[in-house]
Amino acid sequence: QPGNDSIYIDTAMARAAINSLTGMLNFTGKFTVVVEDSLERKFPKYAKEFTRDDVGYIRHLCEFNSADAFILLNELEHLNSYDVFLSKSGDYFGEFETIIKTEWLFINPFTSKLIDEKIILDTIYYQVEPLNINEDNNGFEARKWTLAQAAGISGNSYGTHISPHYVQSSRMVFIKGDKNIKTGYQQAQSGNWKNAAYFWRKSLNSSERKIQARASFNLALASEMEGLLEPALQWAKGSYHYFPDTLNATYISILQERVKQQEDLILQMGDGDAR
């Protein structure tokens, strides 16, 4: 029955999202997570409609589990479609498109405070072998799998949102240009970014826009390595001014996202920790 199928899928997706969130938080080591599989209570759709009884129920759960705060997957909506396409090589392939929306509430019931409220909306595509979704059981299993994967991604995203952590990333640095670009790179190799920046600043006096762009790009990198994200963003924009290419545009986008994440983290810290 479609109704039962929908209920089963929604439950499986919610469990996948929560399990993924739990895995992310345990991975960062900043939280110890206890999962309540069923709350046996229906909460209001909107956080502002929570009553004193609702908060009291959450407080009881936290006390029973020795928890300091409570994370609630308050809403999960999804749309899933499937189509078959012909590739350039002449082969057919199937593709699932999943649009998923989750709403998460992070609550401190001991102070009746909503620490965080976040809606995550994403569209995810998966390519599979051509399937008959309406009649083939393999098609149903594939649909169920793609929905669970999408829910897991959403849970992981919220875990990253509330528990920022370091990840390894790569950056490009220019090593050719003039002698100051090269000398600055030698300083950077030894981890001395301040000295590297000293030489790269000298390259800004070059009459060649290409060298000015490379110097500005490297100065953006030096600032980022020193944790100075706003100056890094300004240097990256300067590099784009001298040489408006995809590399500079991409680096600007990366820095803008890092600045936003830093601002969000400052706001979270300003709101105070749970209990």
Extended strands (E) in the chain:
70-86, 92-108, 113-128
From the list 269, 7, 46, the residue with the least C-alpha distance to 164 is 269
Residue of 207 and 84 predicted with greater confidence: 207
Q: Are 275 and 109 in contact (CB under 8 A)?
A: no
Q: Are 261 and 224 in contact (CB under 8 A)?
A: no
* Alpha-helical segments (H) within 90-245: 137-162, 179-189, 193-203, 209-225, 229-242
**Pairwise CA distance, residues 90 & 166, whole Å:** 43
- Tokens for 139? 């098609």
Does 93 have pLDDT greater than 90? no
List where CATH 3.30.160 sits in the chain.
2-166
List where CATH 1.25.40.10 sits in the chain.
179-270
Across-strand partners of 114?
Answer: 107
**Pairwise CA distance, residues 203 & 173, whole Å:** 14
From the list 209, 200, 207, the residue with the least C-alpha distance to 232 is 200
Does 65 have pLDDT greater than 70? yes
- Tokens for 234? 């300004």
- CATH code of 2-166, in short, is 3.30.160
Residue of 131 and 270 predicted with greater confidence: 131
- Tokens for 65? 């589990």
Residue 62's CB is within 10 A of a number of other CB atoms, namely 20
- Tokens for 80? 């899933």
Name the least confident of 37-46, 57-66, 237-246.
Answer: 37-46
Output the pTM of the full model.
0.58
First to last CA, the chain: 46
Identify the residue whose tokens are 């060298």.
Answer: 211
Residues in CB range of 255: below 8 A, 6 or more apart: 220, 224, 229, 232, 233, 236
Q: Are 111 and 273 in contact (CB under 8 A)?
A: no
Helix (H) or strand (E) holding 255: helix 246-271
pLDDT tens per residue, range 131-190? 666 555 556 788 888 899 999 999 998 988 888 666 667 789 999 999 999 999 999 999
Classify 107 as helix, strand or coil. strand
Domain over 179-270 is classified CATH 1.25.40.10: yes
pLDDT tens per residue, range 215-251? 999 999 999 999 899 999 999 999 999 998 888 888 9
5-9 contacts, C-beta under 8 A, 24 or more apart: 9/144, 9/147
**Pairwise CA distance, residues 57 & 62, whole Å:** 9
